[in-house]
Amino acid sequence: MTTDIIIINRNLRILDNAALYYGSLRSNYIVVYLYDENYWKANGKSSRQLKFSNDCLKELNEDLREVHSKINIFEGNFDDLKNWIHANYKDYFIHMNHCTDVGYFRDGFERFKNYFQKKIKIYDDFGLQLDNFDRDSWSKNWNHIMNKDVLGPPKISHNKDEIQLTDFKSYQAKLNSNLKHSKSIQKGGTSIANDLLETFLEHRCEGYRTKMSSPVLSEKTCSRLSPHFTYGSVSIRQVYQQLNKLLPLLNNKKDLYSFKKRLYWHCHFVQKLHTEPELEFNSMHRMCDDLRTEHDDEMIEKWITGKTGFPFLDACMKFLQTDGWINFRMRAMIMSFASYNMWQPWQKTSPLLARLFTDYEPGIHISQVQMQSGVTGINLPRIYSVTKQSMDQDPNAYWIKSLLPELKKFDPKIIHNANLNGSYLPKIVDLKASAKFARDRVWSIRKDKAFKEEAKLVYLKHGSRRKRKLTAN
Ligand SMILES: Cc1cc2nc3c(=O)[nH]c(=O)nc-3n(C[C@H](O)[C@H](O)[C@H](O)COP(=O)(O)OP(=O)(O)OC[C@H]3O[C@@H](n4cnc5c(N)ncnc54)[C@H](O)[C@@H]3O)c2cc1C
């Protein structure tokens, strides 16, 4: 009898999980989780992300008990897994959800898929359209995908195979001894994701559109679902449908339309990396790779450890170090500072920043990093002023002082302008002069005719076609 081998990866949930659902239909299936140590050391990956995904894995293992199944841990890479399947199974079929990820994963995944060919089925996930590279129809299809029925739990398993793989308990014991993290880092799992969604829709979303820009307020007002989407502890479709059901009944529709728009953006950005995996290493507009050809390790180290001499920026970095999350506006400012004021190539800074994000989603991260570095060719460059953001988002400097207590006695104005004359770290750049230098350099190439021609092609491949306001459906 055919054994269905379901390989799970970043889709750590029981519901609306295509590989799990379709792989279970013959009721003779096993579920395998691929744990590859080297994957967690790849471009931008880190142990805080592993910890979060492991929380999700534990809950999924519990949920699978209900259907008489469990997670079997396979330790190794895709090639090892291929050999194991080959050695242990004759009559089998593999089910796996697609996942757009970094090169290390992509290369192994491609080899694995190509080897098994007719013995493997890859399912769409994360709102992606695997074979659709046409941006016009992509946008139209998205609503259709989001409105499809949410898949139920897998069928009961009657599989009796004696599987010689790492036992879940000993895997957990091994992992836990290596994973110690700050308590402020988000915890994973479907029940936490559901609670977050419920409280967000019920009351936390009040004022979402304006409060999301503040590093102080956004911690509570934003949905905080991002790592759950990254590790698939909840499906975007489920969230989209729950939101649509509630929208007509809720007062603050504008806030929730903004949230809905972001669900679309999530998929739109991941699709960019799926369409052009080279974006992990190359600028969307290739001419921009000639802009910043040198880097300064010492300067980058000061930036990532929050020692730039600009209190607001340093406070953001300290917050990110302990919490593993910060809001969109601050991420944009942090990146803008590195790429414009410090004039460092995004390829050097992006993975360091990614490692701090529990929600690191390569498709979103890499595209956003490129946008905030002015290298896409299709977005107008925006240089964030750290001074202005400091004054706008934390006028009394309470938040800054809570993170940098050594500045407690200083006047907010002095803190915003980083005029601390020897009482704080020296500034690593001159804000105004560095912004002017960057603006001149970026605009000097943007005026070029060849640049504009190439930018048109970039737009055709990656530009958003969504001009209309999103409707309730
Ligand atoms: C330099 C930079 C790097 C980023 N890296 C990541 C990343 O690795 N992973 C990640 O999920 N987001 C990333 N973002 C986008 C955004 O900052 C986060 O999605 C958001 O802050 C997550 O918090 P939340 O879940 O409370 O978001 P909410 O505001 O509640 O938004 C809901 C969801 O919409 C999606 N979303 C929100 N904003 C964006 C956006 N601008 N682009 C695409 N999708 C969006 C996310 O899935 C998010 O969870 C990055 C932004 C920048 C500027």
Half-sphere exposure of 466 (CA within 13 A, CB side): 20
- Judge whether 201 lies within some domain: yes
Q: Whose CA is nearest to atom 49 of ligand 1?
A: 226
pLDDT at 466: 65
Of 214, 240, 262, the residue with max ligand 1 atoms within 8 A of its CB, to mutate for a pocket test, comes to: 262
For residue 286, report the distance from its CA to the centre of ligand 1, in Å.
25
pLDDT value at 472 more than 80: no
Listed residue (337, 402, 400, 406) closest to 373, CA to CA = 337
Asked if residue 221 has its Cβ within 6 Å of ligand 1, the reply is: no
Q: Is residue 468 very low, low, confident or very high in pLDDT (cuts 50, 70, 90)?
A: very low
Residue 23's CATH number: 3.40.50.620
Report which protein residue has its CA nearest ligand 1's atom 15: 328
pLDDT confidence of residue 471: 35
Residue 258 domain flag: yes
395 and 376 part of one domain? yes
Contact 386, 429 (CB under 8 A): no
Q: Would residue 18 count as lying in a domain?
A: yes
Based on the domain organization, do 173 and 210 belong to the same domain?
A: no
Name the residue of 206, 218, 226 whose CB sits within 8 Å of the most ligand 1 atoms, as the mutation to test its pocket: 226
Atom of ligand 1 lying closest to residue 228 CA: 49
The CATH number for 387's domain is 1.10.579.10
CB distance 256 to ligand 1 below 6 Å: no
CB 231 within 8 A of CB 357: no
Q: What is the DSSP letter of 9?
A: S
Number of domains in the chain: 3
Q: 3-state SS string over 147-199?
A: HCCCCCCCCCCCCCCCCCCECHHHHHHHHHHHCCCCCCCCCCCHHHHHHHHHH
Q: Is the pLDDT of residue 467 over 90?
A: no
Residues 295 and 269 in one domain: no
- Identify whether residues 232 and 173 lie together within a single domain: no
Does residue 165 register a pLDDT over 60? yes
Identity of the highest mean pLDDT range in 69-83, 245-259, 450-464:
69-83
Say what the pLDDT of residue 463 is.
Answer: 83
pLDDT at 464: 75
Q: Answer whether residue 256 shows pLDDT above 90.
A: yes
- Which of ligand 1's atoms lies nearest the C-alpha of 362? 8
241 and 363 belong to one structural domain: no
pLDDT(445) > 80: yes
Domain that holds residue 234: 190-273
Residue owning the nearest CA to atom 19 of ligand 1:
226
Closest residue CA from atom 4 of ligand 1? 365
Confidence of residue 394 (pLDDT cuts 50, 70, 90): very high
Kindly state whether residues 436 and 301 are assigned to the same domain.
yes
Q: Is the pLDDT of residue 224 over 80?
A: yes
Contact between 214 and 327 (Cβ < 8 Å): yes
pLDDT tens-digit readout, 142-158: 999 999 999 999 999 99
Note the Cα 433 to chain centre separation in Å: 33
Provide the pLDDT confidence category of residue 473 given band limits of 50, 70 and 90.
very low
Mean pLDDT of the chain: 94
Residues 122 and 238 in one domain: no
Q: Does ligand 1 come within 6 angstroms of the Cβ of 356? A: no
Q: Ligand 1 pocket: which of 236, 359, 369 to mutate (most atoms <8 Å of CB)?
A: 359
CA of 181 to the centre of ligand 1 (A): 22
Residue 159 within any structural domain of the chain: no
pLDDT digits (tens, 9 = 90+) for 294-319: 999 999 999 999 999 999 999 999 99
The finding on whether 462 has its CB within 6 A of some atom of ligand 1 is: no
- State the average pLDDT over residues 264-279: 94
465 pLDDT tier (thresholds 50, 70, 90): low
Shared domain check, 71 and 212: no
Checking if the pLDDT of 469 tops 70, the result is no
Give the rounded distance of the alpha carbon of 430 from its chain centre.
32
Give the residue carrying structure tokens 């240089």: 383
**Alpha-carbon gap, residue 396 to 403, rounded angstroms:** 14
State which ligand 1 atom lies nearest to the alpha carbon of 332.
Answer: 53
CA 106 to ligand 1 centroid distance, Å = 22
pLDDT at 339: 98
Give the number of the atom of ligand 1 that is nearest the alpha carbon of residue 335. 1
Ligand 1 neighbourhood includes 455 CB (under 6 angstroms): no
User: Do 306 and 315 form a contact (C-beta atoms < 8 A)?
Assistant: yes
Looking at 254, 273, 292, which one is the last position of a domain? 273
Please indicate, yes or no, whether residues 129 and 37 belong to a single structural domain of this protein: yes
**Integer Cα distance of 376 and 297 in angstroms:** 24
160 falls within a domain: no
CA of 225 from ligand 1 middle (Å) equals 9
Helix (H) or strand (E) holding 6: strand 3-8
Q: Is the domain of 11 the same as that of 137?
A: yes
Q: Please give the structure tokens belonging to residue 327.
A: 């809001």
22: its two tokens: 């379709």
Q: What percent of the chain has pLDDT over 90?
A: 85
Model confidence pLDDT, tens digit, residues 126-136: 778 888 888 78
107 and 148 part of one domain: yes
The mean-pLDDT minimum among 90-94, 141-145, 234-238, 432-436 falls in 141-145
Q: Is 40 a pocket residue for ligand 1 (Cβ < 6 Å)?
A: no
- Do 360 and 387 share a structural domain? yes
Mean pLDDT of the region 351-376? 97
The pLDDT of residue 284 is 95
